[in-house]
């Protein structure tokens, strides 16, 4: 029913207009009848001063919006099971009185403190991420059980960590001066890594590798880096002491070398069954002795006035004079002497060249550098085996750095084979090319000419 309004007339009813008293009371009764029939009036909710109560025993007080609407209370919005702030970026504060706690399902909150009002343990059933610093005031995190993974994304300092079961650390973990990363344990700068057992216990490691070089496994110590030496070195005046030794199944057991005083050991013979032995830069393999350091000399040195003797040949124990050579006396003694055929400003060599026949070009027989030699004297033997022609001739060559000059003479030849005539099968010439004086030959027939020569070069 719509609201019924009482007509008051134009002059308040004085002129006889408007509803009568009866009609007015009827409308009033109808309005109150409709009002008291509303659910909100028929409910057990009372509003007295600043209190809203329900009069039904143990009944809930339900405030429910319509449709998608929300309940708004002075800056708070209640919608579904969410409580939100209406003000932009506003905090949601629930503040207990005095020293009281805000208790949510058995967990009490007061300021920055979380506690269990019933003194039970607070359990965190899922992963716990701590973005800031986690400080534990006691040695243990008393009353805290972590049943899953404790993830630490930044630096965390623990004064004491007691673990009752197996633990796994993923990533880099630092405890005091030790850093654990994967299978690596390292110390802080220049700090030693000490493994100390308790009481009469021992440090027991079944297999360990030191410095990526030495491996200790069972009763075996071995070098694992390729081609590395195995060095046992004492400190200062100390010595390496081995009570008993068996080298490659060849025994040295109970053998005293030097007794209690360091001295040279004496052996009647030494037999090596291994392929080679190395000693400070020298390797001995089978019947070969060689230096094993890159570009090292292999030196034999006698003591004092002694000599180096090889296969009964005794070498001098001091150097000779400049340009001297070795000489043997036939009795195993080598001395220095000055040879009359050693040259200072010239040298004597020989060679062979083939000049092709049936070729009109002058071909190279020999050459020498214009900066090294001023002149060269050749003895040429020219052989034409096809035609049975042979010539021996002398050739002199000199130059002035820009032009070369040649002179040939004194030829001896068998001519046509009987020596009765002279036949030159090779025309000789010289030129300078790319800093070299070249001796050239051109064959005047179709046969190849083999040229063997003795050459004496004279320096600039």
d(CA 284, CA 380): 49
Please provide the average confidence, as pLDDT, over all residues in the chain: 82
d(CA 406, CA 438): 11
State the greatest distance between any 2 C-alpha atoms of the chain, in Å, as a whole number.
186
d(CA 368, CA 356): 21
5, 28, 268 from 2: Cα distances, Å: 9, 12, 137
d(CA 222, CA 210): 10
pLDDT above 70 coverage of the chain, percent = 82
Sign of CA dihedral 455, 349, 341, 372: positive
163, 392, 393, 413, 423 from 418: Cα distances, Å: 115, 15, 18, 10, 11
When mean pLDDT is compared over 36-50, 237-251, 410-424, the highest value belongs to 36-50
- 120-140: buried (b, 16+ CB within 10 Å) or exposed (e) per residue? eeeeeeeeeeeeeeeeeeeee
What does the pLDDT read at residue 351? 95
d(CA 33, CA 41): 11
What does the pLDDT read at residue 176? 78
What does the pLDDT read at residue 270? 66
136 pLDDT higher than 60: no
Q: Which residues pair with 151 in a beta bridge?
A: 129
Query: 3-state DSSP helix/strand/coil percent for the chain, to nearest 5?
Result: 5, 35, 60
Confidence of residue 140 (pLDDT cuts 50, 70, 90): very low
d(CA 34, CA 135): 66
d(CA 412, CA 409): 9
Looking at per-residue confidence, does 54 or 303 come out higher? 303
d(CA 315, CA 327): 10
Q: If you average pLDDT over residues 117-122, what whole number do you get?
A: 77
Q: Which of 96-105, 201-210, 400-409, 415-424 has the lowest mean pLDDT?
A: 415-424
Helix (H) or strand (E) holding 32: helix 21-36
Radius of gyration of the chain (CA): 59
What does the pLDDT read at residue 265? 58
201 within 8 A of 208, measured Cβ to Cβ: no
When mean pLDDT is compared over 73-77, 112-116, 130-134, 183-187, the highest value belongs to 183-187
Q: Which of 71-75, 148-152, 302-306, 436-440 has the lowest mean pLDDT?
A: 148-152
d(CA 275, CA 285): 6
Written as one string, the DSSP assignment of 345-406 is: SEEEEEEEEEE-SS--S-EEEEEEETTTEEEEEEEEEEEETTTTEEEEEEEEEEE-SS-EEE
Count CA atoms closer than 13 A to 455's CA, side-chain side.
19
d(CA 1, CA 185): 87
Q: If you average pLDDT over residues 4-15, what whole number do you get?
A: 76
What does the pLDDT read at residue 357? 92
What does the pLDDT read at residue 143? 47
What does the pLDDT read at residue 328? 92
Residue 396's CB is within 10 A of a number of other CB atoms, namely 13
Tally helices (H) and strands (E) across the chain: 2, 35
Domains and CATH numbers, the chain: 1-62 (no CATH), 303-342 (no CATH), 346-459 (2.60.40.1680)
What does the pLDDT read at residue 149? 60
For 367-394, the pLDDT digits (tens) are 999 999 999 999 999 999 988 889 999 9
């Amino acid at each position: 029913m719509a609201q019924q309004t009482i007509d008051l007339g134009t002059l308040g009813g004085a002129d006889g207009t408007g509803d009568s008293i009866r009609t007015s009371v009827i409308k009033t009764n109808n309005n109150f009848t409709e009002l008291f029939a509303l659910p909100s009036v028929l409910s057990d909710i009372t509003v007295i001063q600043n209190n809203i109560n329900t009069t039904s025993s143990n009944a809930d007080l339900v405030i429910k919006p319509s449709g998608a609407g929300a309940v708004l209370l002075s800056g708070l919005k209640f919608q579904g099971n969410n409580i939100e702030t209406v003000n932009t970026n506003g905090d949601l504060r629930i503040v207990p009185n005095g020293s009281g706690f805000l208790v949510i399902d058995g967990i009490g909150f007061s300021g920055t403190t979380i506690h269990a009002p019933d003194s039970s343990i607070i359990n965190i059933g899922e992963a716990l991420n701590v973005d800031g610093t986690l400080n534990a005031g006691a040695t243990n995190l008393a009353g805290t059980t972590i049943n899953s993974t404790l993830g630490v994304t930044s630096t965390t300092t623990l004064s004491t960590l007691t673990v009752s079961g197996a633990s796994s650390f993923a990533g880099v973990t630092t405890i005091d001066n030790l850093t654990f990363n994967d299978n690596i344990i390292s110390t802080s700068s220049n700090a030693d890594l000490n493994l100390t057992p308790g009481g009469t216990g021992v440090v027991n490691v079944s297999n360990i590798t030191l410095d990526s070089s030495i491996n200790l496994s069972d009763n075996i110590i071995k070098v694992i880096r390729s081609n590395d030496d195995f060095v046992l070195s004492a400190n200062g005046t100390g010595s390496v002491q081995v009570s008993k030794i068996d080298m490659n199944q060849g025994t040295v057991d109970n053998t005293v070398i030097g007794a209690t005083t360091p001295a040279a050991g004496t052996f009647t013979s030494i037999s090596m069954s291994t392929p080679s032995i190395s000693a400070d830069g020298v390797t001995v393999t089978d019947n070969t002795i060689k230096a094993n350091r890159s570009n090292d000399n292999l030196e034999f040195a006698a003591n004092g006035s002694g000599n180096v003797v090889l296969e009964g040949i005794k070498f001098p124990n001091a150097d000779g004079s400049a340009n001297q050579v070795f000489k043997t006396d036939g009795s195993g003694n080598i001395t220095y002497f000055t040879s009359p055929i050693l040259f200072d400003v010239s040298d004597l060599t020989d060679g062979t060249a083939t000049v092709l026949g049936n070729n009109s070009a002058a071909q190279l027989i020999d050459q020498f550098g214009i900066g090294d030699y001023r002149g060269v004297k050749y003895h040429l033997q020219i052989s034409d085996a096809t035609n049975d022609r042979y010539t021996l001739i002398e050739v002199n060559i000199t130059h002035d750095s820009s032009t070369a000059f040649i002179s040939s003479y004194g030829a001896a030849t068998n001519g046509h084979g009987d020596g009765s005539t002279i036949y030159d099968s090779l025309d000789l010439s010289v030129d300078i090319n790319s800093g070299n004086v070249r001796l050239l030959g051109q064959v005047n027939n179709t046969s190849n000419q083999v040229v063997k020569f003795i050459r004496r070069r004279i320096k600039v």
